[in-house]
Structures are given as structure tokens and as C-alpha cells.
Amino acid sequence: MLDARARRVLSPALDAVGTRLSDAGVPALALTAAGWVAGLAACTAVLAHAWLWALALWLANRLLDGLDGPVARRNGASDLGGFLDIVADFSIYAGFIVAVAIAQPGARLACLALLTAYYLSGTAFLALSSLLERRGTSLAADGRSLRFVGGLAEGTETVVVYVLLCLLPDRAALIAWLFTAAVTITAVQRIALGVHALHRPAAPRRVPAEPAAPAAVLPQEIR
């Protein structure tokens, strides 16, 4: 819900830093990898109940994730980079919640429900993104590697919720239940959008006509 606004606010600064990193020869995949390592370290810090470290590492993960896109676009974005970026994001999103469930036993049921909601919302997101791409529709396209289908709970809301989990670990169950509701609503929104966008058969793609074969050149004596 807040992603578009957040991008408008943060994009100029991220693009400026991304330009400097690109000029310095830093590859986008290195930033993606560094962000994943920071996210994994954040999950480890949660397990150790080092909540302030978890907060700092989580924000580092999000910063690096915000920088790999501008660097990739400047150097030439690749499908591999987009694929690895989304895999890294989803693995840290889930890993962080698993770590919270282990660190805060009272929040385990809420974390399980949140992971289930993640699974449903992520499935709808990835399936719809792929089908929209195959149809060549501009719906939900925003220039990134995948067509991101919005909803009530997006990346910005996830950042805020995980910050709250780090600052208020004793309230982890309540925070997780509330975010589960938001993610479930997002899943329903994406499913409804998919039904609306895909209920009609896709228009057949035009196959380019093959060029006509050149006329045979006959010998002069039989023309």
C-alpha cells in the first residue's frame, strides 16, 4: 500500500548512491549477496535475542536491497539478477519470522499463521506476475524485473512490522497476528485481481509472416 509513496521519496537518494556504486565498479549481484548475508545475520541475531543488532542488520538488508536495483538498471538489468533478488527477499522474509517463532515461544502460532499467509500471498503474486508477463499486459508493471502486484501489505509495511518486532519483541504475537490479517487481505486482493485480469482468454499473439521464398532463377534458355 505504501510502496509507491516510499519509492517516490527514497528513489532519488538510492539512485544517486547507486550511480556512485556503479561508477566504482560494484556489481548489482554483489549487493544482492551482501544484503542476503545481512538478512541472514539479522535472523541469527533474533535467535540470540540481540534485538538491536537484529534491527540494524535488518535495515542494512533493506538498504542493500534498495541499492541493487539502481545499480542493475545502470549497468544493464538481467533476468538472473531479478530472479536472485526475489529469492533472497523471500528467504529472509520467511527466515526472520521463523527466528522470531523460535525466540518467542508465545508467538509461534501467530508466526505460523503469518507464514501461511505469506505462502498464499506469494503464490498469488508470483503466478499472477508470470501470467501478466506472458500476456504482455501493462497491468501492475513498474519497470522492475517482475510485475509487482500491490496490496494492503507490501514491502514497506513489511519493513515497518519487522522493525516493530525488533523494538517490541514481547509484543511479537500481537504484531504477527495483525500483520497476518493484513497479508491475508493482500492475498485476497491479489486473487481477486487475478480473477478480474485473467477471466478472459488471452488475445492470440500474432506470428510474424515468413518472408516469401525468392523466385527461382531459371536458365536463360528456358525462360
Q: Which amino acid is at 165?
A: L
Tell me whether residue 213 is in a domain: no
pTM, two decimals, is 0.80
Say if CB 161 and CB 9 are below 8 A apart: no
pLDDT value of residue 155 = 76
**How many structural domains does the chain have?**
1
Residue 37 placed within a domain: yes
At 106 the three-state DSSP class reads: helix
pLDDT tens for 32-82 read 999 999 999 999 999 999 999 999 999 999 999 988 888 888 887 787 888
Domain-embedded: residue 112: yes
CATH code of the domain in which 154 resides: 1.20.120.1760
Taking a C-beta distance cutoff of 8 angstroms, is the pair 17, 46 a contact? no
Higher local confidence (pLDDT), 219 or 180:
180
Section 198-212 average pLDDT: 61
- Measured distance CA(43)–CA(58) in Å, rounded: 8
Mean pLDDT throughout 152-157? 77
Q: Is residue 180 part of a domain?
A: yes
Look up residue 25 and give its DSSP letter.
Answer: T
Q: Is residue 68 part of a domain?
A: yes
Computed from CA positions of residues 6, 114, 167, 45, in that sequence, does the dihedral angle turn out positive or negative? Answer: negative
- Alpha helices (runs of H) in the chain, residue ranges in sequence order: 3-23, 28-47, 51-75, 79-103, 108-135, 155-167, 172-198
Flag whether 25 is in a domain. Answer: yes
Does 216 reside within a domain?
Answer: no
Residues 97-121: tens digit of each pLDDT? 999 999 999 999 999 999 999 999 8
Q: Are 62 and 45 in contact (CB under 8 A)?
A: no
Does residue 70 contact residue 18 with C-beta atoms inside 8 Å? yes
Nearest to 149 by CA among 191, 119, 117: 191
Count, residues in the chain? 223
Question: Can you tell me the mean pLDDT for 11-28?
Answer: 84
Instruction: Note the pLDDT of residue 212.
Output: 52
Domain that holds residue 19: 12-199
Is 206 domain-assigned?
Answer: no
